[in-house]
Amino acid sequence: MRILIAEDEAVSLRMLQKTLERAGYEVTAVSDGRKAVEELCRPEGPRLALLDWVMPQLDGPAVCRTVRRKRSQRHVYLVLLTSKNSKEDIVEGLESGADDYLIKPFDPGELKARLHTGIRILELEDNLLEARENMRYKATHDSLTSLLNRGTILELLAGELNRKQRDKHSISIVLGDLDHFKLVNDTYGHIVGDEVLREVARRMLGSVRSYDFVGRYGGEEFLVVLNNCCAVETAADRAEEIRKAIGDSPIRTTQGSVPITLSLGVSVSRPCDTLPLEEILCEVDGALYAAKSAGRNCCRLGSAGRA
């Protein structure tokens, strides 16, 4: 565990540093409050700190207040070291944002015990944040393919359409449907069908930009939102790249290689367009239907894209 110690008295600083290093800590030592703030507010700065109350530049309570104001992400456990032992001083230190305090001179065993308490609190916070992130991910992503789920991709699309009208930029929407996917399930079984869906999702993610959105729209349907893609020709080319990524090589499964192709409909939304989400989805669905009618394994533009 990394720990910062801030102490302006050189001998005390060296002794404290050696004590902590022997206890297994990775120590960053500074001699004034401003340097302590700089280190603690770095994105990957220490999350455990021992701060002397009296220091140049900024005192311990001022460091606590500044760190609490500037670093709003992961918690930093701050311990004040002080010879002040009145109730008023203790209250002032804790209200400044300190998590704990130690009265000088302190026992090394007590110091280690209080630091262990801080580590347990930080680990608890990390576990809670991980659990919250897992819950958020499960709520927004499809459990089979790990793509955005239908509700989330539609919510993001609606947000992009609103931003498009406000900022006068364009987006393109691609709706893809796997060809004859029922035959895959009937021939190889649903487990292989799931393998195919996962690999299709992986290939689709690999064929778009990092700031595009890809979601599982239905059973074997996928919706792609191409941000800042306004040219009809560009949108068509991007859809063709997705089609080739899926269909140019069979998908390897536990039951052997499975050939699969994708039909796609494309709709380009220009800055001046004010169509509601439902009409845009209806248009791109019509383009997909046209691709299916044209023999599958192809791309077709919606009416707005051909205009």
Active site residues: 220
How many Å apart are CA 280 and CA 278, to the nearest integer?
6
Answer for the pair 166, 234: CB distance below 8 angstroms, yes or no.
no
How many Å apart are CA 57 and CA 66, to the nearest integer?
12
Six-digit token string for 95: 């209200």
Q: Rounded to the nearest 5°, which phi and psi values hold at 175?
A: -115, 120
Candidates 145, 194, 212, 180; CA nearest to 297 is 180
How many Å apart are CA 229 and CA 237, to the nearest integer?
11
Position of tokens 């026992």? 107
Q: List C-alpha distances in Å: 272 to 165, 168, 169, 269, 275.
A: 7, 7, 9, 8, 9
- Sign of the torsion formed by the C-alpha atoms of 153, 156, 161 and 162: positive
Calculate the CA 259 to chain-centre distance: 34
Q: Helix 190-206 crosses helix 232-247 at what angle (to 10 degrees)?
A: 140
Strand order in the sheet with 299-301: 213-216, 221-227, 171-178, 262-269, 299-301
Calculate the CA 258 to chain-centre distance: 33
